[in-house]
């Protein structure tokens, strides 16, 4: 369980940090659109940085999505089973699909990214940016996903062994009261 808690905490912090990339992408997208329409000017670099930021959000927050049990699944079918059966389905899904596929992508993605870093790959677009940071996101994102998958396997096994309550990995639906409390807490920080 300590390993699982460490992985969960790490992915929470990474997701919190990368959430700012989404704000940056929105600001850049808006500014780029305004500049394009007002001054009839644009740059491929501004378009590419938006893609990079979106890629960072997607790749680096996927593990956090898995941790929060927000990933795509067929709840209509799984919801008809007992919690124990649902946990078995999750466990088999992690072991047979998530981890093997993520490890294969990590295996092939790492040399792909390293080659880009070694060659200092640049965009083929005029005025484009360096490409390697975006390519590094692929193995990094899948590494985080593999680690979170290991954490989820640990939690499911602990549940099946009777050592952990399902609330440790079940989807948490925020109530309006909790949202109000979170807003009040954030306002106190300002």
Express each pLDDT in 126-153 by its tens digit: 877 888 999 999 999 999 999 999 999 9
Q: Which two tokens stand for residue 182?
A: 């979170």
pLDDT value of residue 167: 79
Express each pLDDT in 88-99 by its tens digit: 989 999 999 999
Task: Tell me the DSSP string of 112-135.
Answer: HHHHHHHTT-B-SSTT--BSHHHH
pTM, rounded to two decimals: 0.80
In the chain, what are the domain boundaries?
Answer: 2-189
pLDDT value of residue 172: 61
Buried b (16+ CB within 10 A) or exposed e, 100-127: eebeebbeebbeebeebeeeebeeeeee
């Amino acid at each position: 369980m300590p390993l699982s808690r460490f992985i969960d905490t790490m992915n929470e912090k990474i997701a919190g940090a990368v959430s700012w990339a989404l704000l940056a992408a929105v600001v850049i997208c808006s500014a780029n659109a305004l500049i394009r329409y007002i001054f009839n000017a644009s740059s491929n670099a501004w378009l590419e940085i938006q893609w990079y930021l979106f890629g960072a959000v997607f790749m680096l927050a996927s593990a956090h999505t898995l941790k929060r049990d927000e990933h795509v699944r067929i709840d209509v079918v799984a919801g008809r089973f007992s919690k124990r059966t649902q946990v078995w389905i999750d466990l088999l899904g992690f072991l047979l699909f998530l981890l093997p596929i993520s490890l294969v992508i990590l295996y092939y993605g790492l040399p792909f990214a390293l080659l880009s870093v070694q060659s200092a790959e640049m965009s083929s677009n005029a005025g484009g940016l360096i490409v390697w940071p975006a390519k590094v996101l692929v193995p990094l994102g899948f590494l985080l996903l593999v680690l979170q998958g290991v954490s989820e396997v640990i939690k499911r096994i602990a549940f099946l062994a009777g050592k952990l309550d399902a609330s440790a990995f079940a989807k948490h639906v925020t109530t309006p009261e909790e949202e109000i409390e979170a807003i009040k807490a954030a306002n106190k920080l300002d």
